[in-house]
């Protein structure tokens, strides 16, 4: 009898401790950035978010692959980024540059973009985004 009670208490305590370890999976605020980039983000459902203090993974550039080459494109050089199809764990993006040219590269689909909007902070994964327009 004592052994059964002790086992029940141990199982109950293990359950409490293991469920307490889980998180909500959310975030509290956008990462702080040194320079302010104002954007209009349109998500895959067509929802539009206007915000500033925009960053990609807390950085002020996008990083990905163009063929075998690793590329880094600073936000200063961008006017718009259009997110295309998902291929395996990457999305194909088309970057419109300030000099009028375009370049296409792959970026991690689960990488995250952050920003501040009038309603608070926002976060979207790259595969949840349709386009990002950089306001000048």
Q: Select from 70, 74, 98, 84 the least CA-distant residue to 126.
A: 84
For the stretch 49-105, pLDDT in tens is: 999 999 999 999 999 999 999 999 999 999 999 999 999 999 999 999 999 999 999
Q: What is the pTM of this model?
A: 0.79
What are the sequence ranges of the domains in the chain?
38-135
For residue 28, how many C-alpha atoms fall within 13 Å in the half-sphere facing its CB?
2
Neighbours of 73 (CB within 10 A): 20
For residue 1, how many C-alpha atoms fall within 13 Å in the half-sphere facing its CB?
0
Distance between CA atoms of residues 24 and 6, nearest Å: 31
């Amino acid at each position: 009898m004592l052994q059964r009670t002790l086992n029940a208490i141990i199982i109950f305590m293990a359950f409490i401790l293991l469920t307490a370890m889980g998180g909500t999976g959310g975030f509290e605020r956008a990462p702080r950035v040194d320079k302010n980039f104002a954007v209009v983000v349109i998500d895959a459902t067509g929802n539009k978010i206007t915000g500033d203090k925009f960053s990609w993974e807390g950085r002020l550039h996008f990083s990905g692959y163009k063929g075998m080459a690793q590329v880094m494109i600073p936000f200063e050089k961008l006017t718009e980024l259009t997110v295309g199809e998902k291929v395996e764990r990457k999305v194909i993006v088309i970057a419109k540059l300030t000099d009028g040219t375009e370049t296409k590269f792959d970026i991690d689909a689960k990488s995250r973009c952050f920003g501040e909007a009038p309603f608070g902070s926002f976060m979207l994964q790259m595969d949840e985004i349709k386009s990002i327009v950089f306001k000048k």
